[in-house]
Amino acid sequence: MQARIVMLVDLDYFYAQCEERRNPSIKGKPVVVCVYSGRTEDSGAVSTANYVARKYGVKSGISIVLAKQKLKGVDAVFLPVDHPFYREISDKIMEILRSHADSFEQVGVDEAYMDVTQKTKGNYQEAKNLAATIKNDVLTQQKLTCSIGVGPNKLVAKIAADIQKPDGLTPVKPEEVQRFLSPLPVRSLVGVGKKTEKRLETLGVRTVGQLARFDVQRLIEVFGRKLGTYFHNASVGIDNEPVQERSEPESVSRISTLKEDTRDLAVILDEAYGLCDDVHARLLRRGLLYRSVSIHIVAGDLSVHSKSKTFENPTSSLETFKKTVKELFEKFLAESIVEARRVGVKVSSLNKKEELQKQITNFFGFSNH
Ligand code: TTP
Ligand code: CA
């Protein structure tokens, strides 16, 4: 197998950074994004916090009450989570990343692996330049910083991204892997949780380097063949997992917030057509055809509305997509009196182009053989 170059892009303090982007005046203050459970005013947990708040010990998972104690007397900002807003930003950023990758794998809302072996001709200097370009694109187009790790596989790329945050860029060449991993605690390896860490500690293994030198046979005796082998391989930086798109999506959609609430069709379509372009570009890249088109409206009063239309035959036409979106918005405005705050477009009933070809071929009984 050819040596690979893999990146892991991780958006910095994601939910909190989205909130800073929405309201730049809170930048510089501790920003704490919370899931309020609603039982009492302050019951619930911290989803994430910006790095200013982290200096006070505020982090994901602690209670809101504890976060408030830590920030007592400080001019801090506490906000509720707004998943649709974060999803919107995430989708746009993932699209930027995808356009730079040979193959792409999103893992969660704010992280993605990219195989860039071809794009960089296997050259680390080029990979570093590409990572810098990606950071710059994400910053200028979406006003967010991210941290990128570059390495010969997913395992090394992930650890490299974590090592320097926020706004980091850490390349680790194959010949540097051993030296890079050696001093890190075993917990840095994916799959080593608290329990495993404890068991390894009883064997005298605290660092990845110690794990690498530990007898494989004994590891297998303690953890079983599968895990034991995995731990050993991970400790020496071996990981052959490919970067691959997770299963085909059931639908592709985009949603966006309008500058102000409106019932003006021209304003709505101006925004919606941009979203159609994004969705369509993604369909093309994945070789997908659609059969259904929907629109989605979040009104000024936060009520949610949608309309959709399904065709007989799958298509990839952008023109049909936009025409249908226009029809559906016209219908919506005619039937409803609310003002639109957020508008979205979606295509669904998706088919892979080649699969469709196969189905047609089978249907008509044609065959190449
Ligand atoms: P992370 O990438 O773990 O954290 P982060 O992006 O906030 O900070 P950084 O990467 O700079 O260390 O998680 C991504 C988002 O997932 C985070 O912004 C909020 C959400 N999240 C939770 O809601 N609960 C959690 O316990 C964690 C860890 C994350
Ligand atoms: Ca993150």
Mean pLDDT over all residues of the chain?
A: 93
Give pLDDT tens digits for 306-348: 999 999 889 999 999 999 999 999 999 999 999 999 999 999 9
Q: Which residues contact 363 (CB under 8 A, 6 or more apart)?
A: none
The percent of residues above 70 in pLDDT, for the chain, comes to: 95
Residue 369: is its pLDDT beyond 50?
no
Phi, psi of 119 (to 5 degrees): -55, -30
Tell me what pLDDT residue 286 has: 80
Residue 59: is its pLDDT beyond 70?
yes
Give pLDDT tens digits for 230-269: 999 999 999 999 999 877 778 999 999 999 999 999 999 9
Q: Which atom from ligand 1 is nearest to the alpha carbon of 81?
A: 23
Is 98 within 8 Å of 104 (Cβ atoms)?
Answer: yes
Q: Distance between CA atoms of 320 and 322, rounded to whole angstroms?
A: 6
Tell me what pLDDT residue 246 has: 79
Tell me what pLDDT residue 368 has: 42
Give pLDDT tens digits for 164-190: 999 999 999 999 999 999 999 999 998
Q: Distance between CA atoms of 166 and 148, rounded to whole angstroms?
A: 10
The percent of residues above 90 in pLDDT, for the chain, comes to: 84
Is 94 within 8 Å of 106 (Cβ atoms)?
Answer: yes
Identify which ligand lies nearest to the alpha carbon of 86.
1
Q: Omega of the bond prior to 249 within 30 degrees of 0, cis?
A: no
Is 338 within 8 Å of 301 (Cβ atoms)?
Answer: yes
Amino acid identity of 188? S
Ligand 1 mutation pick, 10, 21, 48, max ligand atoms within 8 A of CB: 48
For ligand 2, a single-atom ion, the residues with CB < 5 A are 10-11, 14, 110
Structure tokens at 352: 């892979």
Tell me what pLDDT residue 282 has: 87
Give pLDDT tens digits for 209-232: 999 999 999 999 999 999 999 999
Given the residues 95, 111, 260, 312, select the one marked as catalytic.
Answer: 111
Give residues (CB < 6 A) around ligand 1: 10-15, 47-48, 60-61, 110, 165-166
- Name the band, by pLDDT with cuts 50, 70 and 90, for residue 359: low
Q: What is the CA(166)–ligand 1 centre distance, in A?
A: 12
Residue 367: is its pLDDT beyond 50?
no
Tell me what pLDDT residue 346 has: 97
Q: What is the CA(146)–ligand 2 centre distance, in A?
A: 8
Give pLDDT tens digits for 281-309: 988 878 899 999 999 999 998 899 999 99
Q: Distance between CA atoms of 154 and 242, rounded to whole angstroms?
A: 8
Cβ burial 122-151 (10 Å sphere, 16+ → b, else e): eebeebbebbeebbeebeeebebbbbbbbb
Q: What is the CA(265)–ligand 1 centre distance, in A?
A: 37
146-151, strands of its sheet edge to edge? 103-106, 111-115, 6-11, 146-151, 169-171
Q: What pTM value is reported for the model?
A: 0.75
Torsion of CA 223, 225, 229, 232, to 10 degrees: 30
Give pLDDT tens digits for 67-104: 999 999 999 999 999 988 998 899 899 999 999 999 99
Structure tokens at 222: 């303690």
The tally of CA atoms less than 13 A away on the side-chain side of residue 244 is 6
Taken in order 52, 57, 61, 65, the sign of the CA dihedral is negative
Residues paired with 351 in a beta bridge? 289
Residue pointed to by tokens 């039982």: 39
Q: Distance between CA atoms of 351 and 311, rounded to whole angstroms?
A: 13
Burial of 211 (C-beta count, 10 Å sphere; 0-12/13-18/19+): buried
Residue 354: is its pLDDT beyond 80?
no
DSSP 203-233: TT--BHHHHHHS-HHHHHHHH-HHHHHHHHH
- Assign 353 to helix, strand or coil: helix
Residue 121: is its pLDDT beyond 70?
yes
Considering only CA atoms, which of 196, 112, 197, 125 is closest in space to residue 161? 112
What is the number of H-type helices and E-type strands within the chain?
A: 14, 13
Residues paired with 295 in a beta bridge? 307, 345
State yes or no: is 111 an active-site residue: yes
Identify which ligand lies nearest to the alpha carbon of 13.
1
Give the H/E segment covering residue 195.
helix 194-202
Q: Distance between CA atoms of 204 and 215, rounded to whole angstroms?
A: 12
Q: What is the CA(47)–ligand 1 centre distance, in A?
A: 7
Tell me what pLDDT residue 249 has: 76
